[in-house]
Structures are given as C-alpha cells and as structure tokens.
Amino acid sequence: MTPAQRPHIVIIGAGFGGLYAVKQLAKADVDVLLIDRQNFHLFTPLLYQVATSGLEPGEIAYPVRGILRGMPNVCFLRGDVTGIAPDRKTVMVHTGHGTREERYDTLIVAAGSRTHYFGQEHLAHHAFGLKTLADSVILRNHILKCFETAAWTADPAARDALTTMVVVGGGPTGLETAGALRELYKYVLSREFAHQVDGLNGRVILIELRDHLLAPYPPRLREAARRQLEDMGVEVILGQSVIEAGADSVRLSDGRTIATHTLIWAAGVTASPIAALLGVPLRAGDRVPVHPTMQVIGHEDIYAVGDMAYLEDKQGEPYPMLIPVAKQQGILAARNILRRLAGQPPQPFAYTGFKDRGLMATIGRSRAVAWIFYRVQLTGFIAWLAWLVLHLITLLGFRNRLNVFVNWVWNYLTYDRSVRIILEAEPGAPAERADSVEDSEEQPGEPVGVILAR
C-alpha cells in the first residue's frame, strides 16, 4: 500500500501498554502516531527512589525517540490530548506549538493513571503525589529543604514537624516510600545533621485505612511487612485515614493530629482524565469499559489498554493496574487491529502474568516480601533480591539498567544516597522568557523558565 492508503493508527500514551502496542505495529503495513505529554517513557515503580535521593530522574526515564529508532513507520508527537471525536475520528492535541487535530483510522488509548484522592480532593492541595517524574523531583526537593530548614529551627516542636513525613496508603508504593524515607533519614540525613542540631528526629508514619497492609497478600506476608517496617523505625497506623490536611499538620479519622509538612499520598490512583474524553460511561476508578478484545464498548475503532481499561476477569474482578497487564493488553490490542485489517476475528484477553509470577514489595535494605507464583512466601533478604533482579530486568534500556545497578550497589555498600540535590532556579532568575518556543497562551498567568521552586 502507498503511505496515503495505509491505515493510520494513533496511540495515546508511551507507557508500557502504548509501547508494547507500538512494537507489535512497527513491522506491519500501517502508519503509527504515538502521542505522549512527555518525551520519555517512565518506569513508575522506582519514582520513590528518585524522591528519596537514591536514583537520578534520567535513570528511570527513557527517551521515547530512542525506543522508536528503527521503526520508520512510527512518528512521535509530544503533546496533551485535550479531545477525542469518535464521530470525526480525530484526536485534539495541545502542543507547545499550537493545537493539532490528528486523524485516526484506529485509536489505542493507553494514558495510564494518576493520583486519586477518593473524594478527599481537599487534601490534594497539601499532599505530594508520586505518579510523575516531576512529582518525584518536587518531593525530593521538598524533603531536603525540610531538613535544611529544621537544622536552623530552634523550637523542637516546629523542628519535629519539619522532619516528620506521613505516607498514606499501605500498598507497595506506600511501603516502599515509607521504608526508603526512613532509610534516607537513618543512614544519611541523621548522620549529616547530628553535629549541627541536637534531638533531630526523622519520624516516618505510614497510615492505612484497612486493619492490615498489602491487602492482596497472604496474612503471613502482611505481618512480615509490618514487622520489617517497624523494625526500621517506621510507625505503622492501621484502621485510620487522613481526613484533613493543612500547611503543617494532618488530622486522622480518630481525631489525632500529626504535626508535619510532608503528606505523601500513595493511597490510590484513578484512570487518566483522557478516559472521560471518550464520552462513554466510565466504571470503577474512572476506567473505560472494554470488550475482552480491548475494544471500547460502543466504539469498535477505539481500543483501551492498561490502567485505563476496565475489564473483568473470570471471577468478576477488574484486572489490576499492573505493568504486566498493560503490556499484554497493549500487545493484544495491536494484534487484534492487525487481525481485523487482515479480515480475521479478534482474540479475547487471556492474562498470564498475574497467575504465574506472583507479587512482591520491597521495604528497604535487605527487606521485602514476595509471593512467588502465588505459592512460595518469601521475606527479608531473599525476597529483596528477587525484587531487585525483577526490577532491573523490567527497566528499559541497557544504560539505565547499568547506572541503576551501579547506584544500587553503591548505595547498598555505603549506605549512601548520592542524589540529594535541591534542583531549582536561582533566586531572582528570570521567571519568564519572551523567546520560549512553547506558546503559553492558554496559561497566561503561569510562569515559564522556573525550575522546581517549592
């Protein structure tokens, strides 16, 4: 077929779902346009390590165009999807250089998920999310600034508030973040501030609404996780939620108040707002209901995959928001598009990974829980080793893997966290530049040219 006749497939999102779909389509006789608001693929499970100064941002972000090398039928557009018109078969994309309307024959929506406050949106203003690379750098800057301020704060109560970190959510992200924060304090910050200020605390409090951590895990591993956290000095509060948050405190559902400047929200995610642009009724978690073929119900030319897609397994449970699900759904959507073009019937989703591999969550140095193949229950060092190997394999890009490995070995041997830099614009730097290549018409009051100044 000539390029003009070739089917035009648009994919929204360069996460695992979108990229695995791209790979399936790269050698087919189709044109692909991949759209993402960022120019990099992000390995979200390690965001907490960037936030706690263990890894560089660039070590968990891989440039999309690097991934697309050798795929001459795939183009990339960096921009924000602001509209989908199924009747016109177009997608509206707001870019730094104007708004574009991109035509599609088939659309794959794979825009992932974002931090969700479950009806507690009033907390968002005082909470730090951990879903984007910017989130992780903003949180890193904030934590380091809290300690720099604490070092020069004479009042013990005010100082404690600066060095108390509250993490909400007893899932893997919450555990990992709480554990890493405590280690950052214990092995690094406490040593570097001790001679300058007496009585510096580094409280880390993990709050979970249920009466146990890690809901999908067997009881023995839930308990092991809690015990390992408490051994490290993390305070675990179960059966409570945060109902109010202010500049320097949070209030729990039992009325308790905790003085803190740092509320980290790891209590859940919801589908990207792009789901709502499809104009179909959404399901739990704002996810888009799809047929087992990954086609959006009511739109046979649109596929949704990964965190955004709502599909139930045989037990009537929606598939979880996990990387292997996104990968396999991305692959299936792409294959079903090609089958349809070839006049073949589509195939239904049959998830394999979840059953096969199991679950694991790391807590800290040599501390983790793992439920391998949903049979073997591991805790401590061996579970941690399994987690480490799995994540190194999943990270995209050899150089990233190598650097992450170097950093992990270094941090393990030295108890160090080398990336504890506060990266922000110089005070007094010009907040706005007239010659930005990006138009900022739509946010006239918003500044350009400022780094992280929180």
Shortest separation between residue 79's beta carbon and its own copies, angstroms: 9
Among 8, 78, 283, 367, binds its own copies (CB under 8 A): 78
Backbone angles phi, psi at 112, to 5 degrees: 75, -150
Residue 61 β-bridge partners: 42
DSSP 3-state assignment of 74? Answer: strand
Nearer CB in complex with its own copies: 85/448: 448
Shortest separation between residue 328's beta carbon and its own copies, angstroms: 27
Among 191, 210, 220, 355, binds its own copies (CB under 8 A): 191
Annotated catalytic, 426?
no
Nearer CB in complex with its own copies: 320/449: 449
Cβ count within 10 A of residue 151: 16
| Rg, C-alpha atoms of the chain | 23
Shortest separation between residue 138's beta carbon and its own copies, angstroms: 7
Shortest separation between residue 412's beta carbon and its own copies, angstroms: 12
Shortest separation between residue 166's beta carbon and its own copies, angstroms: 12
Among 85, 215, 276, 431, binds its own copies (CB under 8 A): 431
Under rule CB under 8 A, which residues in 298-317 are in contact with its own copies?
none
- Please state, in angstroms and rounded to a whole number, the distance separating the CA atoms of residues 286 and 171: 20
Among 25, 138, 296, 304, binds its own copies (CB under 8 A): 138
Binding mask 321-350 for its own copies (x = CB under 8 A): ------------------------------
- Please state, in angstroms and rounded to a whole number, the distance separating the CA atoms of residues 309 and 286: 9
CA distances for 225 relative to 266, 365, 450, angstroms: 16, 13, 40
Structure tokens at 344: 């073949």
Shortest separation between residue 170's beta carbon and its own copies, angstroms: 24
Binding mask 357-396 for its own copies (x = CB under 8 A): ----------------------------------------
CA distances for 371 relative to 216, 219, 313, angstroms: 10, 11, 20
Shortest separation between residue 184's beta carbon and its own copies, angstroms: 12
- Please state, in angstroms and rounded to a whole number, the distance separating the CA atoms of residues 256 and 424: 35
> Which helix or strand (DSSP H or E) is residue 300 part of?
strand 299-304
Nearer CB in complex with its own copies: 80/235: 80
Shortest separation between residue 411's beta carbon and its own copies, angstroms: 9
Cβ count within 10 A of residue 356: 11
Nearer CB in complex with its own copies: 284/429: 429
Among 94, 186, 340, 365, binds its own copies (CB under 8 A): 94
Is residue 96 near its own copies by the rule CB under 8 A?
Answer: yes
Cβ count within 10 A of residue 375: 7
Q: At what angle do helices 16-25 and 323-341 cross, to 10 degrees?
A: 30
- Please state, in angstroms and rounded to a whole number, the distance separating the CA atoms of residues 77 and 80: 9
Stretch that binds its own copies, among 11-19, 142-150, 346-354, 362-370 (CB under 8 A): 142-150
56, 102, 176, 208: the active-site residue: 176
Binding mask 409-428 for its own copies (x = CB under 8 A): -x---x-x-xxxxxxxxxx-
The dihedral over CA atoms of 394, 397, 403, 407, expressed in degrees to the nearest 10, equals -20
Shortest separation between residue 435's beta carbon and its own copies, angstroms: 4
Among 90, 95, 377, 394, binds its own copies (CB under 8 A): 95
Cβ contact 454:141 at 8 Å: yes
Backbone angles phi, psi at 61, to 5 degrees: -125, 130
Nearer CB in complex with its own copies: 129/170: 129
Concatenate the DSSP letters of all residues of 271-285 into one string. Answer: E-GGGGGG-S--BGG
Name the DSSP letter for residue 255.
Answer: S
Among 47, 107, 162, 204, binds its own copies (CB under 8 A): 162
Which of 134, 107, 133 shows the shortest CA–CA distance to 34? 107
Is residue 190 near its own copies by the rule CB under 8 A?
Answer: no
Under rule CB under 8 A, which residues in 217-246 are in contact with its own copies?
246
Nearer CB in complex with its own copies: 2/443: 443
Concatenate the DSSP letters of all residues of 378-443 into one string. Answer: EEHHHHHHHHHHHHHHHSSSHHHHHHHHHHHHHHHHH---TT-----PPTT--S--TT-SS--TT-
Under rule CB under 8 A, which residues in 29-68 are in contact with its own copies?
37-40, 56-59, 61-63, 65-66, 68
Among 1, 121, 437, 441, binds its own copies (CB under 8 A): 437
Number of shown-chain residues binding its own copies (CB under 8 A): 92
Under rule CB under 8 A, which residues in 242-261 are in contact with its own copies?
246-248, 261
Stretch that binds its own copies, among 207-215, 218-226, 296-304, 406-414 (CB under 8 A): 406-414
- Active-site amino acid positions: 176
